[in-house]
Amino acid sequence: MIKPHGSTELNPLFVYDDTERERLSREAETLPEITVSSATASNTVMLGGGYFNPLTGFMGLDDALSVSNNMKTTGGLFFPVPILNVLNDISSIEHAERIALKDPNIEGNPVLAVMDVNRIEKASDDELKVVTDKVYGTTDTDHPGVQAFLAQGKYFVSGPVKVLNFSYFEGDFPQTFRTAVQIREEIRERGWNKVVAFQTRNPMHRAHEELCKIAMQAVHADGIVIHMLLGKLKPGDIPASVRDAAIRKMVELYFEPNTAMITGYGFDMLYAGPREAVLHAIFRQNMGASHFIIGRDHAGVGDYYGAFDAQTIFDEEVPEGALEIEIFRADHTAYSKKLNKVVMMRDAPDHEKEDFVLLSGTKVREMLGQGIAPPIEFSRPEVAKILMDYYQSAE
């Protein structure tokens, strides 16, 4: 199986030993504490699950700037996005050497992790501007990722962490939430060697389904891991539980047995386009995938990024050998009326726009809300039914 990023063995920061975890939980009750942002909480969950391998905790200001400018830590580790614990107020932990990180996303704010504090540093406005400009490609505060990042504060708290739980993800999504450790184990149990990963924060329509199958066939993969984002999205996105049900129905009816794993992970989207695409590739290498599908405007939002910027960054900015995972570059996928099947549009140069079944997201949402199923060329009827029920109940 493919090696994790930056090491020969995966290094999850969750404390698996029950006795040690219980001891740390008791210790946390005596420590200075801080309720972190949702972004920091999701970063903690990702560190715990091994997705950010080989990091041992949160980066400091020097590493944040080095990663933003050069996609490398000051120690030379390739990493595309700074992994940070950023705070507005440090009064409760200002002189602490060890602190408890409390979860903002669960009532009562239980302790999520124990952290050794290496440094607490205040970033200047210029330094924050460097991070936003390099990571998000913009300093526009209308960009949801920039907005969320700047709202966290200016104090960067760095140091190693020991993770005590996986927040709400295990409880709310017991069938779907999986750590990188668990996914590697299941890939091994299934006997898969070549594995494609597919990222989604939306329900999967017919084009997504076929794209997965096209990629699997192209690289001769044993299976595909459909990896759903379960963290915070932007307003208007479909809840994870509905996406989960729709994807499970699609796989049950339209994929061959033992060719698809349905999993999810706890991360708040950055909407950072190309840089986030590279981060997503690291997630997938760490969970054991050998190939990762990246399509148009991967992890993008609005018009901030070019359609294929998330693909070209791997050619132009990712150093050769920095990652072992291979990228499967996808174009927009749609049903061809001429060929009576779903194709990548770049593979049908003789087609005009009207030769494809193309529907905007707005149009599809309108149809579903009115109880009208999209054409079967666009959406499997069983999937459409789940989405129609959701949109009609939400009105």
Tokens of 336: 């061809």
Tokens of 230: 């379960």
Closest CA to 270 of 55, 40, 48: 40
Q: Is the peptide bond preceding residue 54 cis, with omega within 30 degrees of 0?
A: yes
Give 15-35 as a DSSP string: ---HHHHHHHHHHHTTS-EEE
β-partners of residue 151 are none
Structural domain spans, the chain: 18-170, 174-394
161-215: pLDDT as tens digits: 999 999 999 998 999 999 999 999 999 999 999 999 999 888 888 889 999 999 9
| Alpha-carbon gap, residue 364 to 293, rounded angstroms | 24
Closest CA to 164 of 277, 296, 249, 44: 44
Judge whether 18-170 and 174-394 match in fold: no
Can you say whether the dihedral through the CA atoms of 381, 387, 298, 304 is positive or negative?
A: positive
Please report, in angstroms and rounded to a whole number, the separation of the first and last CA atoms in the chain.
Answer: 47
345-382: pLDDT as tens digits: 888 889 988 888 887 777 888 888 888 888 888 899 99
Closest CA to 43 of 243, 263, 266: 266
> Which residues are designated catalytic?
201-202
Q: What percent of the chain has pLDDT over 70?
A: 98
Confidence label for 77 from pLDDT (cuts 50, 70 and 90):
very high
Can you say whether the dihedral through the CA atoms of 301, 305, 307, 311 is positive or negative?
A: negative
CATH for 174-394 (3.40.50.620, 3.40.50.300, 2.130.10.10, 3.40.50.1000):
3.40.50.620
Domain 18-170 indexed as CATH 3.40.50.300: no
CA-based max dimension of the chain: 69
Region of 17 (left: φ > 0; alpha: ψ -120 to 50; beta: rest) is beta
292-307: pLDDT as tens digits: 999 988 999 999 999 9
